Amino acid sequence: MLSHLALLKGIMKASERKTLIDAMLQRVNLFEHRKKALTSYSGGMRQRFGIALALIGSPQLLIIDEPTAGLDPGKSSRCYNLLAEVGESVIVILSTHIVEDVLKLCG
């Protein structure tokens, strides 16, 4: 799926796509699960995969809706860390009703 999206984003060379996809999966801590079916991913893994998808093409803006909904505290913490890291180079708009999300990411 990531490879198809990278192709749609104009990354034509297979070697460049592979390098980009490997880097994105490393960034969201899913590299070791790269050969698993997406349907086998947990909720937290799917959230991170979605962020990796969104980051392909180096967007300037990322809109995230309810990033920690349904995640256990450990996975929520990892999601906060990832979004904080992404927020260093990308504008992140967060939509949530969970006050803790706002406090952790913006406080």
Q: What backbone phi and psi angles, to 5 degrees, belong to 65?
A: -110, 120
Q: What backbone phi and psi angles, to 5 degrees, belong to 77?
A: -60, -45
Give the C-alpha separation, 90 to 26, whole Å.
18
Give the C-alpha separation, 42 to 57, whole Å.
25
pLDDT tens-digit profile of 7-57? 656 777 888 888 888 998 998 889 999 899 989 998 888 888 888 888 887
Q: Which superfamily does CATH assign the domain made up of 2-106 to? A: P-loop containing nucleotide triphosphate hydrolases (3.40.50.300)
For the chain, the C-alpha Rg in angstroms (whole number) is 14
Q: First vs last Cα of the chain: how many Å apart?
A: 35
Q: What pTM was estimated for this model as a whole?
A: 0.77
Domain ranges, ordered by start, for the chain? 2-106
pLDDT tens-digit profile of 61-100? 999 888 888 778 877 888 888 888 888 999 989 888 888 7
User: Are the CB atoms for 17 and 9 separated by under 8 Å?
Assistant: no
